[in-house]
Amino acid sequence: MTVFLSISPSLCPMLGLLLLLSGCWSLQQWVLQRVPVVLPQQIKPGPAPHFLSQARLDVSSSCDPDCHRKAPKPSYWDLRNILSYETLHSNGSLTTTSVEIYGYNPNSDTTVVYKARSRGKREAHVRRKRQIFGHDGRFSIVGQNYLLQFPFSVVVKLSTGCSGTLVGNRHVLTAAHCVHDGKNYVKGAQRLRVGFLKPKYRDTQSTNFFLNLTNQIGSPYPPPTNDKMKFQWIRARRTHVPKGWIKANANDIGMDYDYALLELKKLHKRHHMKLGVSPPAQRLPGRRVHFSGFDNDRPGDLVYRFCLAGEETPDLLYQHCDAQPGASGSGVYARMWDPLRCKWERKIIGVFSGHQWVERQGASQDYNVAVRITPLKYAQICYWIKGNFVDCREG
């Protein structure tokens, strides 16, 4: 049983001292750190994009956690190329933006680039993707009171079939593979739409009848409500995809940079979730991560899950959260103590990418994988949202 307490701001310093003395302070709080600056330099027109590929709702990689850990760190020049990005505009044009990186400390940022190892003919084997691990631990969220309340209200659906998370007044964080397959933009990326759950139109005649009945005879029965939801769609104005994902311009680096940011054509008028630099798994309360999305096997439902964070590499978090295609692009978040605001706060620390099936130590293993938000990725995504680096120095 979980008990939530309301804490007076005046007691926050005392509570902080108690947590510090108990040893919990450093383990379960958001620790703000100075992040580098990823600053756009030159914008050039890009080639006309081709919308040839079908959107994939799931991705896979043959590089296991050990493969990632053994990979050499990229040079500064590699990172400049990887964090440069393409922007797809709603009119179909494409621009390419180069970046400069300032204040980067390779010892504090653990971004890794690797070349995926070939598995030869074994890659052609048909594999059964085990995306439900044991008992299905997912929860379908129902009812307007829940669906329209934070944190579930920040989850949106992409017209390409993926999920996304509101991270700004008009910005949505999702997976890059939901709009780009690594070589081409997918069909529907140019006219990409983002769906917000909202109540269906209520039968006002029936409602008025019950209200009149209540006024006349004091009926104890409230008017009927319709909890059925529908999607309200907003077009995307532009889509940013890092070149680290676009394999035509960088090494084959698998899932490490499987993230994209959408800018909507108008404000969505909902609360959004903040970004946070991904902490080590052992610092997460209960080592748990959470995310919600629109899994394809439960059409129309918003599906929530949480699980233990498993292995991690500098750029990826491995876990066994139950998920199905359609959940890709969901924002993976953690709930930790914010000592400055004296409250528990949720922040997005990763993007759910998809499934990974690898052979490790002679045995096959299955994972579900999320892309971690490193300091460099935080700096880039934050700049896309804010439009300046001054507001993006602490994550």
Per-domain residue ranges of the chain: 29-201+223-392
Average pLDDT over residues 255-260: 91
pLDDT score recorded for residue 217: 52
pLDDT score recorded for residue 6: 43
pLDDT score recorded for residue 349: 96
Q: Is the pLDDT of residue 331 over 90?
A: yes
How many CB atoms sit inside 10 A of residue 159's CB? 18
DSSP E strands in the chain: the ranges are 37-45, 51-53, 85-89, 94-102, 139-141, 155-158, 163-166, 171-174, 185-186, 193-199, 229-242, 260-264, 274-275, 288-293, 302-312, 316-319, 331-338, 343-360, 363-372
pLDDT score recorded for residue 271: 92
pLDDT score recorded for residue 208: 54
Average pLDDT over residues 334-362: 85
CATH topology for the 29-201+223-392 domain: Thrombin, subunit H (2.40.10)
Query: Which one from 177, 240, 272, 355 is the annotated catalytic residue?
Result: 177
* Tokens 């971690």, located at residue: 372
Q: Is the pLDDT of residue 119 over 50?
A: no
Query: Which one from 66, 203, 252, 391 is the annotated catalytic residue?
Result: 252
pLDDT score recorded for residue 108: 58
Least confident of 113-122, 215-224, 245-254, 341-350: 113-122
* Tokens 């880039």, located at residue: 380
pLDDT score recorded for residue 201: 58
Q: How many Å apart are CA 303 and CA 299, to the nearest integer?
A: 10
pLDDT score recorded for residue 113: 36
Q: Is the pLDDT of residue 299 over 60?
A: yes
Query: Which one from 328, 330, 353, 355 is the annotated catalytic residue?
Result: 328
Banded pLDDT at 202 (limits 50, 70, 90)? low
Q: Is the pLDDT of residue 122 over 50?
A: no
**Between these two residues, 215 and 39, which has the higher pLDDT value?**
39
Q: Is the pLDDT of residue 389 over 80?
A: yes
Known catalytic membership, residue 177: yes
Known catalytic membership, residue 22: no
Q: Is the pLDDT of residue 23 over 60?
A: no
Q: How many Å apart are CA 248 and CA 225, to the nearest integer?
A: 52
pLDDT score recorded for residue 224: 44
Banded pLDDT at 67 (limits 50, 70, 90)? confident
Average pLDDT over residues 164-176: 96
**Between these two residues, 62 and 160, which has the higher pLDDT value?**
160
pLDDT score recorded for residue 257: 93
**What is the average pLDDT score of the chain?**
80
